[in-house]
């Protein structure tokens, strides 16, 4: 895919991981809330809602991992000297890549923690 081979990072690259995390969080809790609102009672199993949240989690993790992988290439950990604080476009790109790597890691952890209730809670109580 050509999108994953972009030469320079952009702010869209930086904003992708937290945006995907926020969308995953919203989808997970809306799906569970709607399913439980339409359920027969508080002891109804969350089966279909758990499956939907699981699929959303896998998709979110894949998109965040792809953004992190792209950012890892932009950060150039192996070839560039740190800190990236010179006023050059290459250092700005490396700094943006490094910030995106950190946001990707945080977003991966946040998506996993957002999905944990779907794994641990079996009914609508």
pLDDT value for 57: 96
pLDDT value for 123: 82
Q: For residues 93 and 74, give the distance between their C-alpha atoms in angstroms, rounded to a whole number.
A: 7
pLDDT value for 3: 53
Percent of the chain with pLDDT over 70: 79
> Is the confidence at residue 17, as pLDDT, over 60?
yes
> Is the confidence at residue 66, as pLDDT, over 70?
yes
Q: How many domains does the chain have?
A: 1
Q: pLDDT for 48-58, tens place per residue?
A: 888 999 999 99
| Residue of 87, 91, 73, 82 lying closest to 13 (CA atoms) | 73
pLDDT value for 69: 86
Q: For residues 109 and 121, give the distance between their C-alpha atoms in angstroms, rounded to a whole number.
A: 19
Domain region containing 100: 10-120
């Amino acid at each position: 895919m050509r999108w994953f081979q972009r030469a320079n990072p952009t702010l869209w690259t930086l904003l992708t991981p937290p945006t995907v995390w926020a969308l995953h969080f919203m989808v997970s809790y809306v799906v569970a809330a709607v399913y439980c609102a339409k359920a027969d009672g508080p002891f109804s199993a969350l089966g279909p809602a758990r499956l939907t949240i699981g699929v959303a989690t896998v998709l979110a993790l894949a998109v965040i991992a792809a953004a992190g992988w792209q950012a890892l290439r932009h950060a150039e950990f192996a070839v560039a000297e740190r800190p990236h604080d010179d006023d050059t476009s290459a250092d700005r790109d490396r700094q943006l890549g490094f910030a995106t790597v950190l946001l990707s890691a945080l977003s991966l952890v946040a998506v996993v923690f957002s999905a944990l209730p779907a794994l641990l809670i079996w009914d609508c109580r």
